Amino acid sequence: MTVTHAPSLSPADIDASSVIAFPEGLVGCRSWKHFVLLTSDEADLPVGILQCIDEPSVRFMVTDPRLIDSTYCAELSFEDKLALGTNPVIYCTLTVSNDGNITANLLGPLVINAQTRQAKQVVLTDDTYSARHPVGRLG
Amino acid sequence: MLVLSRRPEQSFRIGDDITVTVLGIDGDRVKLGIRAPRNVVVLRQELFQELQGANSEAASNAPSTESVTELLRKIAPAKA
C-alpha cells in the first residue's frame, strides 16, 4: 500500500489515490468516512496515524493487532471478505487515557482492502476481544 | 418513540428489508429474531455505545508514535 509520509499533511497535499474510504463511516461516528494513512520513515514497527479528512481533529494511532495479541484473529463474514478481499490489512486503534495507560480496540478493528482502498470497521462476534484491551503504561 | 405491542411469534417490519420477530418471552427477557440485509449492522445498544465511546476517545487521545513504538518494543520484543 502506498503511504503518505508524516508530517506533511495539508488538504492540498492529499492525493486522491491515497485516500482510504470507509463508506459506512466508523461505528457510532458515521461521518468519519475518509482517511489517509501517515507513517514515518524512522518507524521500524507497523505503527501509523490514520488522519480523518472529513473531520481534521480526528486522528487515530493504529498498529497491527497481532503485535498486541499474537493469536489475534479477525473472523470476517462472507460479505466482508467480498468487499475487503481475502487478505486485508488489519489495524487496531490505540488510546491513551488520562492515567497514562494505553488501550487497544481489538473488538472493532479497521479492515482495509489495500488494492481498492475500501475499508470498514468490523465488529467481531468473538466477544473475548475488548474495545479497551490494556496494552501497557507510558513512560 | 413508536410503541408497538406484539405477542410471541408476531413480527414487525422496519422498511422493506428488516423484520423483527418476537421469538419468546422468558421472565424479564424477550428473545428477538432479526432478519436484515448483511450490510445492516445489528448491535446490542451497550456494544454500540462501547464502540462509539472507544472510537471517540481514540480519535481525540491518540498516543504519540514514539510512545507507541517504545511500548510495542517492550511487549513484542521478538518482532521489534
Which of A11-20, A57-66, A74-83, A95-104: highest mean pLDDT?
A57-66
Identify the pLDDT of residue A6.
47
Distance from CA of A17 to the nearest CA of B (A): 23
Question: Best of A93, A98, A120, A126 to disrupt the B interface by mutation (most B CBs within 10 Å)?
Answer: A93
Surface of A (80-119) touching B: CB under 8 A: 93-97, 102, 105, 107-108
What residues in A contact B43, CB-CB < 8 Å?
27, 123
- Cα–Cα dist A119/B11, whole Å: 34
At B3, list the grid cell: 410503541
CB distance A108–B54 less than 8 Å?
A: yes
B68:A108 CB<8 A: no
Coil vs helix vs strand at A90: strand
Taking phi over 0 as left and psi of -120 to 50 as alpha, with beta for the rest, B26 belongs to beta
B30 CB within 8 Å of a chain A CB:
no
In tens, the pLDDT along B12-35 reads 999 999 999 999 999 999 999 999
Per-residue model confidence (pLDDT) at position A1 = 52
ipTM of the complex: 0.86
Instruction: Give the pLDDT of residue A138.
Output: 75
Instruction: Work out the pLDDT band at A43, boundaries 50, 70, 90.
Output: low
Of A27, A43, A78, which has the smallest distance from its Cβ to B51's Cβ?
A27
Pairing state of beta strands A34-39 and A4-5? parallel
CB spacing of A93 vs B58 below 8 angstroms? yes
Distance CA A84, CA A67 (A): 22
What are the cell numbers at A122? 468490523
Most confident listed range (A81-90, A121-130, B51-60): B51-60
Give the global pTM: 0.86
- Residue ranges of domains in chain A, CATH in brackets: 4-137 (2.30.290.10)
Q: How far is CA B53 from CA A4, A29, A52, A61, B8, in A?
A: 28, 10, 17, 16, 34
pLDDT confidence of residue B73: 85
Q: Does A123 touch chain B (CB under 8 A)?
A: yes
d(CA A76, CA A84): 9
Taking the C-alpha atoms of residue A17 and residue A2, their distance in angstroms, rounded to an integer, is 9
Helix (H) and strand (E) counts for chain B? Answer: 2, 3
